[in-house]
Amino acid sequence: MLAVTHFGGHADVVCVPAEQVTEIPDGAGFEEAAAIPINYVTAYHLLFRIANVHPGERVLVHAAAGGVGTAVLQLCRTVDELVIFGTASAAKHEVLRAEGCTYPIDYRAVDYARQIRRLTGGEGVDVVLDPLGGRDWRKGLKLLRPGGRLVAFGFANLANGERRKPAQVASQALAMPLLTPLGLMAHNRTVSGVHLGRLWGAAAVLREEFQAVRAMWEAGHIKPRIDAAYPFTEAAAAHRRILRRQNVGKIVLTP
């Protein structure tokens, strides 16, 4: 069985409402099933409910090789003629292309905003999906075409590595853009924030999105990319791999 939990998923035993439990489809393994609920529901929510992506639009996906990033890329393949820009280190670009990314960009080697402007003739993109925060939110806003949407769903820039540095936190916080309704109106932009853990009261929304994701999974339109599976006893090592940005796809903990 597959269950969608709120917090506490690292436990040996969890208790969830019956409507949050479903059978694992035939032929799907435990690790693949474990990679579905949070990553793909987050990706679905970002793309289809908040960004409301349309055929032919341009989408920038930050951290495109991560668990949510690869889920977003796969879901983008279900929309016609999207042009996808994805940021990731150069070693991950082959995977990004295999998942449907049109233009992988090595954020360590080039200024991704300048590269996107070059590739789009200065026009920019329609959607930015940003789990980074800070100065990247500011850069993302400037990349938006009229009617563009920036969706913030994380603040990874607060930590670079395993420890949070006060100077870095302050620098990123100060770099956040100042947003006002008048400013957004003047530029025809939309900014949205997403925190799936804070949506737990909207059970009907999450259930609808999970059912949509499950249908895509069963139909073969999406398939989780598993980077590695760690036993619970090595959970710290699993988290370190994520913090060091070494994973390509989802990391799963197993009993």
Could you count the other beta carbons within 10 Å of the beta carbon of residue 137? 21
DSSP string over 13-75: S----GGGEEPPPTT--HHHHHTSHHHHHHHHIIIIIIS---TT-EEEETTTTBHHHHHHHHH
User: What pLDDT is attached to residue 189?
Assistant: 96
User: What pLDDT is attached to residue 161?
Assistant: 59
Q: For the chain, which residues score pLDDT lower than 50?
A: none
* Cα 233 to Cα 64: distance, rounded to the nearest angstrom: 28
Inter-residue contact 130 to 111 (CB < 8 Å): no
* Cα 191 to Cα 149: distance, rounded to the nearest angstrom: 6
User: What pLDDT is attached to residue 140?
Assistant: 97
User: What pLDDT is attached to residue 160?
Assistant: 64
User: What pLDDT is attached to residue 164?
Assistant: 66
* Cα 156 to Cα 74: distance, rounded to the nearest angstrom: 22
Could you count the other beta carbons within 10 Å of the beta carbon of residue 113? 19
DSSP state letter for 88: -
Determine phi and psi for 153, rounding to 5 degrees. -140, 25
In the chain, the domains with their CATH numbers are 2-254 (3.90.180.10)
Residues across the chain: 255
